[in-house]
Amino acid sequence: MASTLDFNLTTHLQSLLPNGVRPSLVEEVIPQLISSISKVARALRTSSQVSQVGTANAFGDDQLNVDVIAEDIIRIAISGCPSIFTASSEEDPVEKSTGSNADVAEKYTVAFDPLDGSSIIAPNWTVGTIIGIWDGVSALHQHPSNQVAAILGVYGPRTTAVVALRVPGCAATCFEIGLGESNSSSSSLHIEIVQPKVRLAEAPFKTRYFAPANMRAAAEDPKYMSLITHFIQEKYTLRYSGGLVPDVIHALVKGHGVYVSPVTEKSKAKLRRLYELAPIALIVECAGGSAVDAADGRSILERPIEDTDERAGLICGTAEDVEFAKKSLLG
């Protein structure tokens, strides 16, 4: 018998795409990755200690025990998907073969950040997983339109996920699901459609939100200081946690928000385009918003990614606020 997750999620995905389109994506890849998010959530709940493991990833970032746990869980899920031929992550940023040699019509590569929010997980704040799913066996050197799906897993008081689909020839869509354990069995996953359509609202807005990352940069950049002052004077509500995933999710759930991670002479770009920006941008765009590079104002999904360590700043969220922030910072 199919699990609760397989039945509900697959059925919903099939309802979003024309009959028979991308069967491996909707029946295998996305359900397996969603299941792994639930397993990461369970592992985090039982990991009372957050500590460095004494190793660093290929980028030189110190690894936490929870980073390694999340990485391993998602890798196992990927290995169970014959249509995923390669995968890379922020912890292991080399596109490696999964060993699949299946004769399948669909071939995908997955690029993911297993646990985004290392700086805020020790105080038990909300963190998340970021996943991009790309057509083909590499996400590099190709147009970002080949990224056909993205997932944001959110680990907070509840475990939720936002899923975006932008399959060529089909309407783009974005929805939110809740994940929990079935009452009948602790090993059975229950999935619920929280929002069948995630969409940023249109003006007029009841409440407007802003999330200014790296506020210290305002001390060296008068334009960023002026932008933050504008938000305050216009009575925007501050909602900034220090985590990319919860701050973006907040805007999507509330229907409005603008997230700004600036790039200045002293504050270099930190967000990696492949593992963080491309999936975030796909989700925000599928929800009717905009996502641009804070350094030059170009769309995040406008140019190919050539290297796994490419970084950029980010302005994303409600389109008109993104445009205002872009003009304020770049002129």
Whether 201 maps to a domain, the answer reads no
The tally of CA atoms less than 13 A away on the side-chain side of residue 155 is 27
Question: Lowest-confidence range among 52-56, 77-81, 104-108, 280-284?
Answer: 52-56
Whether 203 maps to a domain, the answer reads no
Sequence-ordered list of residues with C-beta below 8 angstroms from that of 208, at least 6 positions apart, any chain = 234, 235, 236, 237, 256, 257, 321
Distance CA 325, CA 297 (A): 10
Structural domain harbouring 232: 209-330
As given in the structure block, the two tokens for residue 321 are 């606020």
Distance CA 113, CA 42 (A): 18
User: CATH number, domain at 285?
Assistant: 3.40.190.80
Query: In this structure, are 11 and 160 located in the same domain?
Result: yes
Domain end (from 195, 220, 241)? 195
Distance CA 198, CA 163 (A): 9
Please report the pLDDT score of residue 84 as a whole number: 98
Distance CA 71, CA 112 (A): 9
Under DSSP, the state recorded for 166 is: -
For all residues of the chain together, what is the average pLDDT? 92
Q: What share of the chain is helix, strand, coil (3-state, %, to 5)?
A: 35, 25, 40
* Whether the predicted model's global pTM rises above the 0.75 cut: yes
Distance CA 130, CA 111 (A): 9
Sequence-ordered list of residues with C-beta below 8 angstroms from that of 10, at least 6 positions apart, any chain = 2, 26, 27, 31
Name the helix (H) or strand (E) containing 150: strand 147-155
Query: In this structure, are 190 and 84 located in the same domain?
Result: yes
Please report the pLDDT score of residue 267 as a whole number: 86
For the segment 42-60, the average pLDDT, to the nearest whole number, is 75
Q: Read off the pLDDT of residues 119-135 as tens digits, 9 standing for 90 and up.
A: 898 899 999 999 999 99
Please report the pLDDT score of residue 12 as a whole number: 92
Query: In this structure, are 167 and 229 located in the same domain?
Result: no
Please report the pLDDT score of residue 56 as a whole number: 64
SS3 227: helix
* pLDDT at residue 171 tops 90: yes
Query: In this structure, are 174 and 30 located in the same domain?
Result: yes
Beta bridge partners of 177: 161, 193
Whether 251 maps to a domain, the answer reads yes
Q: Read off the pLDDT of residues 295-315 as tens digits, 9 standing for 90 and up.
A: 999 999 999 999 999 999 999
Whether 188 maps to a domain, the answer reads yes
* pLDDT at residue 4 tops 90: no
The residue type at 293: D
Q: Which of 255, 238, 239, 260 is nearest to 318 (CA)?
A: 255
Q: How many domains does the chain have?
A: 2
Please report the pLDDT score of residue 185 as a whole number: 46
For the segment 27-50, the average pLDDT, to the nearest whole number, is 92
Q: How confident is the model at residue 182 (pLDDT cuts 50, 70, 90)?
A: low
Distance CA 39, CA 50 (A): 17
The residue type at 118: S
For the segment 269-288, the average pLDDT, to the nearest whole number, is 97
Query: In this structure, are 42 and 156 located in the same domain?
Result: yes
Under DSSP, the state recorded for 266 is: S
Domain end (from 150, 173, 195)? 195
SS3 303: coil
Q: Which residue has the tokens 């397989």?
A: 6
Whether 80 maps to a domain, the answer reads yes
User: CATH number, domain at 72?
Assistant: 3.30.540.10
Q: Which of 330, 300, 331 is nearest to 314 (CA)?
A: 300
Distance CA 7, CA 310 (A): 38
In order of 238, 259, 267, 294, the CA distances from 264 in angstroms are 22, 16, 5, 9
Whether 202 maps to a domain, the answer reads no
Query: In this structure, are 29 and 101 located in the same domain?
Result: yes
Beta bridge partners of 93: none
